[in-house]
A and B are shown apart, each in its own frame.
Chain A
Amino acid sequence: MSTGFFNELWVSKMMIFRGIYMCIFVSFTAILIGTIIGVFVGLALTYGNIFTRFFARAYVDIIRGIPVLVLILTIYFVLPVIQINFTALQAGITSLAIFSSAQVAEMLRGGLQNIPKGQTEAAKAVGLGFSQTFIFVTLPQALRQVLPTWVNTAVETVKGSTLISLIGVVEITLVMQQIIGRNFLTMQFYALAGLIYFLICYSIERGGKYVEKKVAIK
């Protein structure tokens, strides 16, 4: 049995590598895009006027209230109705990016609002303008505060990427299903999938902890 497993593993190694690559590629791209969108939405939530605040708030609340799977299915199956046709891969990345952007926006708002008012006043008092105050005083402090939660979102996004197997993106989960469909080694290959996900997420967490320590305020 176990020789059978290793034999199967050897035979499917390229498939598995491609699955891992796909998982990391999708997650990384989604987190990157999601973070960029999230920073702008977070800024709108914190400093926007009543209208931008309203729309940013609605965006964040709606996205955070929808399961990632529903988001994925909506973008892949419903958007074509209004002539927006994404490939499965594009739909997967887009939905995960939207998911993480809402998390990033909310955590950045919290981080920025947690910074004592005295910080912006001191920045003003030495003559820094609004954007300088943001770039050099509030953002560096907010990012440090937000880092642990951001790492958490990155991990959630990696785990969420399993769901895009349902629209046919060949990432780790779907690769495993295909392999199992061929050799019926259900337990072994699902366990392997779990192990791979664990290693990816654990590395992200360790990396986050390392950076956190590096940039900690003394």
Chain B
Amino acid sequence: MTERVLEISKLHKSYGDHKVLNGVDLDLNGGDVISIIGSSGSGKTTLLRCVNLLEEFQEGVIKIDGREIGYSNSKGKRSKVNNKQVTKDRALTGMVFQSFNLFPHLSAAENIMLALRKVQKKSKKESAEIAQHWLERVGLPDRGSSFPGQLSGGQQQRVAIARAIAMNPKLMLFDEVTSALDPELINEVLDVIKSLAVEGMTMLIVTHEMRFAYEVSKKVIFMNDGVIAEQGTPDEIFKNASSERLTAFLKNTRF
């Protein structure tokens, strides 16, 4: 039996009166690849940001490897854990952003090495080796000394993936990672993610690339108005959509 990596239960999140997540339950086992689709404003990015603890949430529990992250519950009282623990909990997941967010003053290799050295306290030599390993893995073996400004969007995003995964997270989170890319650069990034999926990386992917979601996922989730409106295998979602909302959504998207 594969172990449960991520367990989200009854997740509620609102900005003031505006409810963004309205009771989301979701489980991921080791090696699972789950894609989240849905129109903008449906809460899918917020869900991902909650798992990475970039957003606070008012109700619900997120567990990684069976341990609650971000909050603690003792005697029925829920409280935020301290900043140090938040930082530790956050390191369990790796996040890749829509806008890459590479550090512009550091080279590609230094981008990957920074947290290896400062967070995991690895030596410079070991960090450099790990960085080189992942740069090769994302198809950029000789761009380690390039700065983000000297790389194309697709290359930057691949470095960002390498930076996140080099930290050896339990779970990778991808937040619309191809939305800011020119069409001809999308595939090089998706291919990297696919190859990680094949290797058994556990991943939660928010995407607008329907064909990619269809090909890569074990399960697809359709979010609408802050809840999981439908979920199933890629075939169930894309070929046999039953609900009216999902059908309408799929009709308006490219496949």
Question: Is there a chain B Cβ closer than 8 Å to A61's Cβ?
Answer: no
CA distance A124 to B99 in the complex (A): 15
Contacts of A119 in B (CB 8 A): 101, 103
Q: How many residues of B contact A (CB 8 A)?
A: 30
Bits for A175-218, please: 1 = Cβ < 8 Å to B, else 0.
00000000000000000000000000000000000000000011
Q: State whether A126 touches B164 (Cβ < 8 A).
A: yes
CB-contact partner of B119 in A116, A127, A141, under 8 A: A127
Interface residues on A, range: 20 to 34
State the main secondary structure of chain A at its contact with B: helix
- Give the Cβ gap from B131 to chain A, nearest Cβ, in Å: 12
Q: For the complex, give the distance between the alpha carbons of A129 and B104 in Å.
A: 19
Residues from chain A with Cβ under 8 Å of B52 in the complex? 125
Q: Does B149 contact A (CB under 8 A)?
A: yes
Q: Hey, which chain A residues are within 8 Å of B114, CB to CB? A: 126, 128, 136-137
Instruction: Tell me if A10 counts as interface (CB < 8 A to partner B).
Output: no
A140 to B110 Cα, complex, angstroms: 14
Q: How far is the CA of A125 from the CA of B171 in the complex (A)?
A: 12
Interface string of A106-129 (1 = CB under 8 A from B): 000000000010110111111111
Which 4 interchain pairs have the tightest Cβ spacing? A127-B91, A122-B101, A126-B115, A118-B101
Q: List 22 A-B contacts (CB under 8 A).
A: A121-B97, A122-B97, A122-B101, A122-B102, A124-B87, A125-B52, A125-B90, A125-B94, A125-B164, A126-B115, A126-B119, A126-B164, A127-B115, A127-B120, A128-B114, A129-B87, A132-B118, A136-B114, A137-B103, A217-B147, A217-B149, A218-B147
